[in-house]
Amino acid sequence: MDIKDRILKLKEEKNAIILAHNYQPKEILKVADFMGDSLELCIKAKETSADIIVFCGVDFMAESAKILNPEKKVLMPEIKGTQCPMAHQLTKDIILKYKEKYDAPLVIYVNTTAEAKAMADITCTSANADKVVNSLSAETVLFGPDKNLAYYVQKRSDKKIIPIPENGGCYVHQSFTIEDVKKAKEKYPNAVLLVHPECNPEIQDVADVIASTSGMVKYVLNSDEEEFIIGTEKDLIGRIEIELEKLGEKKKLIPLSEKAVCKEMKQISLEKIERCLLEEKYEVKLDEEIIRRARKAIENMLKVK
């Protein structure tokens, strides 16, 4: 019995579900019960009847699953090196400082700690950030921690968006340069350039499409075009290929940069998933009051259509 079969057997024995973010390598995605972006995984975590959730992603994602399922056991295959740097840029002290200065609702990207979510009025993901902000009646909104996502939302809203902190962001998406775009476009002049809203403004401004990871997956699958430059973490290409294989289709997928790797996402392996199911360690534990308050902010988001 190979490792994939052993994982499947353990899942069945323990009534466990494996959720994997779109940035996971192909071999991880192939043992997952569900693959998706932050929003889709939030919804799936809320809907599951499994007793155990194994989360293949970074720390804040597993915390979100626990917030939505406090009675379930949420496990991470690895905790060392899986802390999303951006999620830890927005601290309690920074939030308090801005809340003292502005009488405005706080919209927090799900890419944050549970403690930060507990201080929010509502959360958002890159797939619904503009809808969430525009659903609010206030004219001024505090938005954090990604300043580039704040830029994306500002271009789609009449509200005044105040990014907190001023320079929050994702090191992977901030690494893309105009030079990367020029090189890719010179080599593939007919390719559609898709970029994530965490990219810097100058990259967003030259993109053909700006979308969340799942938005990119859907766009490629539904498009008549044959070539796509993917401006996000490069393993999203493997995720898209899985869907194309199901349809018996082939399309040319080019990473905007080969260096676009989220090292925190790459700490998980099949061996670690098997060990996680066997030993049930690295359980996510959160304070009950933080769960209660953060859950309200996430559920407020899930009500936005």
> Any binding-site annotation on 170?
yes
> Any binding-site annotation on 199?
no
> Any binding-site annotation on 48?
no
> Any binding-site annotation on 197?
yes
> Any binding-site annotation on 42?
no
> Any binding-site annotation on 84?
yes
> Any binding-site annotation on 88?
no
> Any binding-site annotation on 201?
no
> Any binding-site annotation on 173?
no
> Any binding-site annotation on 124?
no
> Any binding-site annotation on 276?
no
| DSSP annotation string for the chain | --HHHHHHHHHHHHTEEEEEETTS-HHHHTT-SEEE-HHHHHHHHHH---SEEEEES-HHHHHHHHHH-TTSEEE-S--TT---TGGGTS-HHHHHHHHHH----EEEESSS-HHHHTT-SEEE-TTTHHHHHHT---SEEEEES-HHHHHHHHTT-SSEEEESSTT---HHHHT--HHHHHHHHHH-TT-EEEE-TTS-HHHHTT-SEE--HHHHHHHHHH-S-SEEEEES-TTHHHHHHHHHHHHT---EEEES-TT---TTGGG--HHHHHHHHHH--SB----HHHHHHHHHHHHHHHT--
**Annotated binding-site members for [4Fe-4S] cluster:** 84, 170, 262
Binding residues: 21, 38, 84, 109-111, 126, 170, 196-198, 213, 262
Annotated binding residues for iminosuccinate: 21, 38, 109-111, 126, 196-198, 213
